[in-house]
Structure 1
Amino acid sequence: MAWNNVLCMYYSRTGNTKRAMEEIAKALNAELAEIQDGVDRSGAKGWLRSGLDAVRRSSPKVKFKTKWPLSDYRLVIVGTPVWAGRCSAPVRGFLKQNGRDIRNASYVVTRGSEDKNEEVFQQMDLYAPCGHRTAVSLRVGSVGYDFWQEEFLRQTQEFLKEGRWRPEN
């Protein structure tokens, strides 16, 4: 089994979440995989559609490719933009369809506002029974972006070193 592996999954409408997850995956030497829902979310219409999907708590069917089944990763880090104060619809769909297969989860949310939107972590936990081990809320372009990203990486590496991720026998 692939117990030495960490997976970074993300959905990104504008590229901000993608950039954050690429940086985190590189720092952790983790596999990186994009969540796709096949919906055109570009431009103003896409922005409006995305906000409405978040408010409605839509859960579209999603696609993604990973090297191993999700249950084989010791940690799955899920990245999502915040839409209307909620987890993005594609990530909600991913977690609803696959959350039970994740042994250990961590979350990265990217936001455009000053509000940290930390309630999104609990929203995501509704679909991932394991709950989250570490989490961070990042605002691209903010003064604290690098600090909070580094703190998230430190906490995540500490979690992985402690070995609490080992499966129960």
Structure 2
Amino acid sequence: MVLVSHSLAGEIATYFVRQYPHWVTGAVLVDTSLPEFYTESETAKLVAANEQQIAALETQPQRRATRQLLAEADNYGSVHLAYHKLAWPQSVPATAIVSSRTPFTTAADAQLWRRAQQEFVSAVPDRRLVVAQHSSHDIPIGRPGVVINAVQEMVHGSALRREDGQPEPAAP
């Protein structure tokens, strides 16, 4: 299969592909949360920035959405420090699509987000980076063609690879 994920689902995709790399012939990661982003200092900054919002949520009536946000916030720091230590399997090709306007409002966070995407694709030859020009973090909504093209290219490329990950020999 070709795995496609967006935003925080990058974390789910990373854990999935690490556990089942033989199920995935390639992935398209759409402005996803990658392990490279969650440095110790960035994680601490995110935890601190969200403390007031979490405290306010805890005082609100417990609805499904509130419970989901609180569950996501629970152990956020330790979970993301552990996530930072993970690596995407080298045997699984990936295309990382990054938005031209990242999901972060500060220049430092936006720069770290872009650098994480670049580090991810630079780690292994069978990865590429696509910048979705004139896009927000909601690339699938604002620039669906960029995602569709990347998926089509990954499907076509995976059809050319044998099970051992090597390209099919060219026909004579």
**Shorter-normalised TM range:** 0.3 to 0.5
Q: Which has the higher helix share?
A: 2
TM-score by structure 2 length?
0.43
TM-score by structure 1 length?
0.43
Question: Max radius of gyration: which structure?
Answer: 2
